[in-house]
Homo-oligomer: A and B are copies of this chain.
Amino acid sequence: MQNRAESYQEWLLKSYINQMSQTHSNTALSWRRLYLSRAKLKASSRTSALLSGFAMVAMVEITISAEEKNPIPDALLIVFGICTTLLVVVHLMALMISTCILPNIEAVSNVHSVQAVNESPHDEMRVCVEMAWVCSTGLGILLFLLEIALLCWVKFFTISQNTAIASTVIVIPAGILFIAFSLMFYKRLMAHKYQRHTEGLRELDEMARELDNRGDGVNII
């Protein structure tokens, strides 16, 4: 019976080794993507709720002077209206995607079973997650930057147009800096991912080989 029990342990060990090597190539990566999706959706929904709220309150509370001699041109108000609406739409889009997908991911990440990751829709929905994230951080923050400049124009048009011009002069290089940072960030992330991928494959190979040797050792006993 001592013998039998050992063979049980062998079976356990072997199946564990198999599971491990499978895990490293498939499940582990899937969990990592799940955590990344969850973190992105959470960050998106928090940022979006905040910025869309500020934009909406600003539009409701700003007082648009209706003086006769120096009225605010219609074009400025149209651009302001479009920017505010777009800003709220973009952040609502991000909020909606987050509220739709996040519960499905959260439910899976609470289950504490390794295979549960396959139940999660984060791989099928990867395009949506990325869209929510880009809406919220990329497009959303750029539009918010534009909104600040437009708020200055609407607020100071009748009193001091130089203030609005000064504000615009700051916002334009800032916008270019934002876009540059986004591209640089995207490039670095891609390079980092590619480098990790090749390293990961090599490590996996070594690990599998070593485990194979040991597994054989245990097998032969």
Does A49 touch B at the CB level, under 8 Å? yes
Task: Enumerate chain A interface residues (CB-CB to B < 8 A).
Answer: 1, 4, 6, 8, 11, 28, 31-32, 35-36, 38-40, 42-44, 47, 49-50, 53-54, 56-62, 64, 66, 72, 74, 77-78, 80-82, 84-86, 88-89, 92-93, 95-104, 106-108, 110-111, 113, 115-116, 118-119, 121, 124-125, 128, 133, 136-137, 141, 144-145, 148-149, 151-152, 155-156, 158-160, 162-164, 166-167, 170-171, 174, 177-178, 181-182, 185, 188-189, 192, 196, 199, 203, 214, 217-218, 221
A89 CB, min distance to chain B CBs, angstroms = 4
Main secondary structure of the interface of A (DSSP, over half): helix
With A77-B160, A151-B59 as contacts: A141 and B40 at CB distance below 8 Å: no
Q: Which single member of B74, B107, B141 contacts A39 (CB below 8 Å)?
A: B107
With both beta carbons as reference points, the residue of chain B lying nearest to A196 in the complex is identified as B119
A118-B195 Cα distance, complex, nearest whole Å: 11
Please name all residues of chain B whose beta carbon is closer than 8 Å to the beta carbon of A53 when the two chains form the complex. 50, 54
User: Which of B99, B133, B162 meets A136, CB within 8 Å?
Assistant: B99
Task: Give the CA-CA distance A167 to B152 in the complex, in Å.
Answer: 20
